[in-house]
Chain A
């Protein structure tokens, strides 16, 4: 049982995307967050975006630790405040791609107000929400998404509250890209994150994932492998599904797929439209006019496309 850790770190395809010096991480055996981070890292590589221009923001909790493990500019904020911090970064420097990676307790419980308002503004952010139906870091309490009747440490006799259906929530609030997968569907997660990174506007990706230590154990649902098999057997792929039909019952069917993908001006585009009417064509934000910013954006898009093409060509070549 000897592994040359230094060599492994160096050779791993994740080096350059993850802070290898911080491994191993704190997540439990069978937790889905690691798989999601793998999918995220893969999506970043394939998307062709400049890793320098990527910022990852997390809140508090198990998923909140993602920011500390990814090798990009990263901020680990206070509980629930990942989205407003990300909003601040995006508005301070619109060139950046800002990803919020956090848990459902953080994003929809304590940070629920920020979630719906960022969606309402169509703020150009990618929000990846790890939904494991529990507050893992504090010992398995009930969350806004815990299914009815599920047991949590603070609902020891079964949950009698009604849960949020997150795709429906963010759809109602105005999100322009919405997808849901399980941590089993890592390939789809990768693809969805790639699409969301290229999408202009508020993107929301919910990933259902097992919390082995708390949610599964307390509800006697077995271990991580059992849960992933449950996902395999009980997910229903329905692209474009009406988000009103995406509610999750305890151990019931889980609708997965890409539900929403539409075009609407982002917050910054709306600001530009208003200000250019007011100030005229020489309107500047942070010293740059709209045509200047558009030219920069176009140039960056071309670079991204070139990098993406190179990655795809490499893969195609490998498969021939």
Chain B
């Protein structure tokens, strides 16, 4: 570790595709580019996000707080060295 003994955190992203309206905030403003827009459609006809690089998630929760649809949340992932995504 380069800064004291801070541990690199890992997060797990939960996405609710059903409520998503495809605004793209989470994808655009994720600082580590975990998310990307899916090519799939949800029932409303929007492209929801998916975790393209789940292992890069550092649990900053910015996607959770910027999501205007309350459709993403992130939890700490202690077990896995690398983050994973659940649908």
Asked whether the complex places CB atoms of A and B closer than 8 A, the reply is yes
A186 touches B66 (CB 8 A): yes
Contacting residues, chain B, for A320 (C-beta < 8 A): 7
Q: What is the minimal beta-carbon distance from B58 to any residue of chain A, in angstroms?
A: 11
B41 touches A1 (CB 8 A): yes
A23 touches B28 (CB 8 A): no
Q: What is the minimal beta-carbon distance from B20 to any residue of chain A, in angstroms?
A: 9
B68: nearest chain-A partner, CB-CB: A34
B68 touches A32 (CB 8 A): yes
Contact residues of A between 19 and 73, Cβ < 8 Å to B: 23-25, 27-35, 37-39, 42
B25 touches A225 (CB 8 A): yes
Contacting residues, chain B, for A32 (C-beta < 8 A): 68
B41 touches A35 (CB 8 A): no
Interface 0/1 of B6-32, CB less than 8 Å to A:
110100001111110111110011000
A29 touches B22 (CB 8 A): yes
B54 at interface, CB cutoff 8 A: no
Known: A5-B16, A14-B73, A38-B67. A228 touches B29 (CB 8 A): yes
A3 touches B15 (CB 8 A): yes
Contacting residues, chain A, for B14 (C-beta < 8 A): 8, 11-12
A316 at interface, CB cutoff 8 A: no
Count of chain B residues near A, Cβ 8 A: 33
B29 touches A38 (CB 8 A): no
A224 at interface, CB cutoff 8 A: yes
| 8 Å CB contact of B40 from A1, A13, A229 | A1
Roughly how many angstroms separate A2 CA and B62 CA in the complex, as a whole number? 24
A2: nearest chain-B partner, CB-CB: B87
Interface 0/1 of B37-58, CB less than 8 Å to A:
0001111001010000000000
Contacting residues, chain A, for B23 (C-beta < 8 A): 29-31, 212, 223-225
B68 touches A33 (CB 8 A): yes
Q: What is the minimal beta-carbon distance from B49 to any residue of chain A, in angstroms?
A: 12
| 8 Å CB contact of B28 from A1, A3, A8, A225 | A225
A29 touches B21 (CB 8 A): yes
B66 touches A23 (CB 8 A): no
Q: What is the minimal beta-carbon distance from B15 to any residue of chain A, in angstroms?
A: 7
Roughly how many angstroms separate A291 CA and B32 CA in the complex, as a whole number? 53
Q: What is the minimal beta-carbon distance from A91 to any residue of chain B, in angstroms?
A: 33
Contacting residues, chain B, for A25 (C-beta < 8 A): 69-70
- List 22 interface pairs A-B (beta carbons < 8 Å), by A numbering: A2-B87, A3-B18, A8-B14, A12-B14, A13-B64, A24-B19, A28-B21, A29-B46, A30-B21, A30-B24, A30-B25, A31-B23, A32-B68, A33-B68, A35-B66, A35-B67, A38-B66, A38-B68, A39-B65, A184-B29, A184-B66, A186-B65
Q: What are the 4 closest A-B residue pairs judged by CB atoms, nearest first?
A: A34-B68, A29-B21, A30-B23, A24-B19
Q: A27-B68, A186-B62 are in contact. List 6 more A-B contacts (CB 8 A).
A: A11-B14, A29-B46, A32-B68, A35-B67, A190-B65, A228-B25
